Structure 1
Amino acid sequence: MINFRAAVCAALLLFVAPNLVQAQDVTLSSPDGAVEITGNLLGFDGEFYRVENKFGELTLDGSGVSCEGPGCPSLSYFVAEVTLSGSSILDEVLLPALIEGFALRNGFKTRRDSLPGGNFEYTLLRAEGRPAARFSFLISTTDDGFTDLIAQEADIVMAQREIRAAEQKMAREAGLGDMTAASRSRIVALDALVPVVSPANPVTRISLPSLAKVFSGEIKNWQALGGPDAPISLHMSAPGAGLTQAFEDRVLAASGKQFSQDLRYYDRGTALVRRVATDPFAIGITSFSNTGTTRMLALTGTCGFMLRANRRTIKTEDYPLTSPMFLYLPERRLAKVARDFLAYVRGPGAQIVIRRAGFVDQAPERISMNAQGDRLTNAILAAGPEVPLGELQRLAHTLSGFRRLSTSFRFETGSARPDAQSRSNIEQLARALETGLYDGKVLKFVGFSDGQGVASGNQKIALKRAKSVRDKVLSTAETVSVERVELQVEAFGEALPMACDDSAWGRQVNRRVEVWVR
């Protein structure tokens, strides 16, 4: 039997959005009738009641109490309500595909209904046709998603960027807790910001500094980029869109620039790529998952290294403008079906759905040494007095017989803290170790650095980062036995550059920890 008094003492979690149940009088009683709680019912999620009385807000396990009064919900016909708001890229394709996959796995049928303003909802139906849950989608922008969550008009934010400091402050003031905590956000899929042009445009590559100058209006003619003598037409998603804000934060702000006044904005990414595809003098920023018939430009530097966006380079973060797709959650208990759905999106079945929907999944891939051709070529070209041939030979000998995992780790600018995608990778690798996926294997955490400073110092920094990531994975994987898998650390400093060291973004790409498995 559930201990009723213990349930009262554990009443610390808020769990349900205000649209589920309006406050009404109820009396909750223990099975023996010895204890009664009377107050206003603030919420019910199918498992737990949230009641406000003279002692404050209490959360009680529904299996340990009986409910009487006009506010008591029907336990048999309870329908969970979940509202998602934010990025249109997530709610146009990705989240509906995941809901369909979740429903199929759990024996539900689905029904999609239109709502006013272009919004829609998915209803999960039990076998007999009774609704079990409704997922309502408010199609807007990342900005609007956080606004709706703070106003308690949404349960989950769909975001193409991390929460900003001002939004975090408002969330705290609204009683939503620390939205930057690992438990408050999920990376549901991976994507990237990519510059695109018409297939008729002869330009094939661009540097990030030049890209910043183009979208700030400093470069106005294609001739400056090796193209025709024609004005550049600029195209971007809506100002409040996470993609636009991510580009502003990571490309323009890094160069101290602002968007040009000549930008043309689009509410839908599909409209942007259609426009760019038909205009030989247009350039746009879109997501890797939504390029249509446009052609992506490779990113390059003065040293000649090129980085192209593809599934593998996005997974490994070798491509510098990766853009994880987030779900942000309030510090309150969501309905069980919502919690089950959030658990599902992290599982292997969801990764297949994500990939089929055109996005980049997070399932680890193994990359053979034979597939490292471009990277090894770059290493040979960049070799010099500080990285002699012997060091490259040591690298090849050490990693011979190993395969690189697509699970990599990079760090926030000017910090030793892993970035958002890498923090998610730490959790995923820890879970894989706990489940025994790498039992009997050797995992080697290999540190690399940029080329700034003395090579011997960079070697030490790279080794320190490799040890730090390994230790973080181990501390996260609480149940793993070190006897089941061998975890090693190694470092090669600046010996295997991914990008040119003459820019901040290039140096950041080069500072990384890779995982190799044998």
Structure 2
Amino acid sequence: MALIRAAFCAALFTFGTALATWAQDVTLTSRDGSVEISGTLLGFDGEFYRVETIYGELTVDGSGVSCDGPGCPSLTDYVAEVDFSGSSTMAEVLMPALIEGFALRSGYMVRREERDDTHFDYVLLDGETGRTRGRLGFRVTTTDEGFADLLANEADLVMALREIRADERQRAAEAGMGDMTARNRSRVLALDAMVPIVAPGNPVRTISTPMLARVFSGQVTNWSMLGGPDAPISLYLPAEGSGLAQAAEDRLLAPVGFELTDGISRHDRSSALARAVVVDPFGLGLASYAETGSARTLTLTGSCRFSLEANRTTIKTEDYPLTSPMFLYTPARRLPKLAREFLAYARGPAAQIVIRRVGFVDQAPEEIPLNEQGDRFANAIAASGEEVGLEDLQAMIDRLRPLARLTTSFRFETGSTRLDAQSRSNVAQLARELEAGTYDARRLVFVGFSDGEGPAEGNQRIAARRAEAVRDAVVAAAETAALDRVQMEVEAFGEILPMACDDSAWGRQVNRRVEVWVR
């Protein structure tokens, strides 16, 4: 009886499994027969029923009730079912590799079953008995469609190559799915980047981010304006609705108020896009870093002569301005145990190895010694002026010389003090490392940097506040860590060590950061 009453209280929460295909009438009866709940079964995760009733959506512990009706699942032969929808890049490459790695590590046999051109399942079988333990269903589509499926209760997890947009976030909250940007609602599985690509024979080697935006908005239409031949530029992008294409609009064009031009050639797969650019001597595309094929990537540059090349390190640190995290979004409801185990595996060290092997950038922290950061310090010397002199540079180098930089960095949303999505994931990752004792008896220094807008003294104060905010966020997240075993400090150098030119919103965004240095 108490259990059923508790279930009514649990209706205030919106967890459960999104197995909408079950949608059949059931009656749940308490063991003493005194309380009955009738409604439509929305899901069962092996432990809890989720039922739509006249009281709203209720979640009921299966151990305290009996189930009657055509929709009642088998408690002894339960098969966990989880549905994924969204990004084709993630569905075709990343997720299959992670599922096979998870199955191998967990003692499951795995079988892939094709349903049609856009749907397939991974069936997980008990390694000893051969009995089916789980079915992971995939719909290969776009980030847009993935969020639409989640809102329609046709998916449990969304594979996304961009952050959830404000309108999607609002609709999810209104549908009782919680704040999709809250902790544990979104997680970064791996990192990718949007890279400008050309045919191998194209003479152009570099392009600035502002110029790239002007090209894709149709303001620059000839290669001669980029230092190339007198020929029209043909443009290539992923399909409309894909996360990568939308990230290009959100992060490349929106900050300067531009919109995509007409006449862009679209491709469902990044690999197909790269192949199309390779055979077009006058083509320019934005492709996934992991799927450039034999196309050549252009280095991003600026008027201050800084250059930023997409590679594992610059993407992992977010120093490359067009980094694209690969997200899994989950609503605020309970997932089957199998799904929870998979998500735990996906952020562990074994999964990071798998991510690297399939060509994406993992999130395992790496240490970069000072002597491997020559380009950054050369840029700092080139950018020095009246407000930042040689003495400031020397003081910074003396402070950092005994330390190594972690690839774990933190940046903030545009015009906000809130950490961006990748940085929020980095907070959780660094907190887990602290809880595991990885940095016991070591020194962590949170180092704040700023852009060059405004007085240098004020920028240093702002950078210090950001560094303190990041340190505090990590400490708050590391709930079980023995923090007395770790020496944590805060330092700030303001605008002394720029990563990019300050002449664009993208450059300033890259420069405003908090790095973590370790000894």
* TM interval, short-chain normalised: over 0.9
Q: 2: distance between equivalents of 1:72 and 1:241?
A: 38
Pairing 1:208–2:209 present: yes
Query: Contact 1:29 / 1:67 at 8 angstroms: preserved in 2?
Result: no
SS of the residue aligned with 2:323? coil
Who is 1:104 aligned against? 104
- Structure 1: any 5+ residue segments left out of the alignment? none
Pairing 1:37–2:55 present: no
Q: 2: distance between equivalents of 1:260 and 1:41?
A: 48
Q: 1: distance between equivalents of 2:6 and 2:243?
A: 43
Who is 1:49 aligned against? 49
CA distances 1:88-137 after superposition (whole Å, capped 9, x unpaired): 01001000111111111111111111112332111111132221111111
1:144/1:56 CA distance change after superposition, 3 Å: closer
Structure 1 segment 72-221 matched on structure 2, within 5 A: 72-127=72-127, 128-221=129-222
1:80/1:281 CA distance change after superposition, 3 Å: same
Normalised by the length of structure 2, the TM-score is 0.95
Kindly provide the amino acid, as one letter, of the partner of residue 171 in structure 2: M
1:228/1:187 CA distance change after superposition, 3 Å: same
CA distances 1:147-181 after superposition (whole Å, capped 9, x unpaired): 11111111111111111112122223333222222
Query: Contact 1:187 / 1:424 at 8 angstroms: preserved in 2?
Result: yes
CA RMSD of aligned residues (A): 1.8
CA distances 1:467-510 after superposition (whole Å, capped 9, x unpaired): 11111111111222331100001111111111111111111111
- The CA deviation at 1:342 is 1.3
- The CA deviation at 1:19 is 3.2
Q: 2: distance between equivalents of 1:38 and 1:449?
A: 58
Q: 1: distance between equivalents of 2:280 and 2:479?
A: 54
SS of the residue aligned with 1:181? coil
- The CA deviation at 1:208 is 0.9
Kindly provide the amino acid, as one letter, of the partner of residue 388 in structure 1: G
Structure 1 segment 5-404 matched on structure 2, within 5 A: 6=6, 9-11=9-11, 12-30=13-31, 33=32, 35-40=34-39, 42=41, 43-53=43-53, 55-127=55-127, 128-404=129-405
Query: Contact 1:212 / 1:252 at 8 angstroms: preserved in 2?
Result: yes
Who is 2:432 aligned against? 431
Kindly provide the amino acid, as one letter, of the partner of residue 244 in structure 1: A
Kindly provide the amino acid, as one letter, of the partner of residue 134 in structure 1: R
Who is 1:444 aligned against? 445
Q: 2: distance between equivalents of 1:290 and 1:116?
A: 24
- The CA deviation at 1:72 is 2.9
SS of the residue aligned with 2:500? coil
- Structure 2: any 5+ residue segments left out of the alignment? none
Query: Contact 2:4 / 2:35 at 8 angstroms: preserved in 1?
Result: no
SS of the residue aligned with 1:289? helix
1:241/1:475 CA distance change after superposition, 3 Å: same
Query: Contact 1:20 / 1:81 at 8 angstroms: preserved in 2?
Result: no
Kindly provide the amino acid, as one letter, of the partner of residue 292 in structure 2: T
Q: 1: distance between equivalents of 2:360 and 2:234?
A: 27
Query: Contact 2:449 / 2:497 at 8 angstroms: preserved in 1?
Result: yes
Q: 1: distance between equivalents of 2:415 and 2:361?
A: 27
SS of the residue aligned with 1:475? helix
Q: 1: distance between equivalents of 2:46 and 2:451?
A: 53
Q: 2: distance between equivalents of 1:333 and 1:514?
A: 35
- The CA deviation at 1:212 is 1.1
Who is 1:486 aligned against? 487
Percent identical: 61
SS of the residue aligned with 1:324? strand
CA distances 1:13-47 after superposition (whole Å, capped 9, x unpaired): 431224353322334333xx364434235121111
Q: 2: distance between equivalents of 1:53 and 1:166?
A: 28
Query: Contact 2:444 / 2:488 at 8 angstroms: preserved in 1?
Result: yes
Q: 2: distance between equivalents of 1:356 and 1:399?
A: 32
SS of the residue aligned with 1:158? strand
Q: 2: distance between equivalents of 1:130 and 1:245?
A: 42
Q: 1: distance between equivalents of 2:134 and 2:316?
A: 33
1:397/1:164 CA distance change after superposition, 3 Å: same
- The CA deviation at 1:53 is 5.0
1:137/1:52 CA distance change after superposition, 3 Å: closer
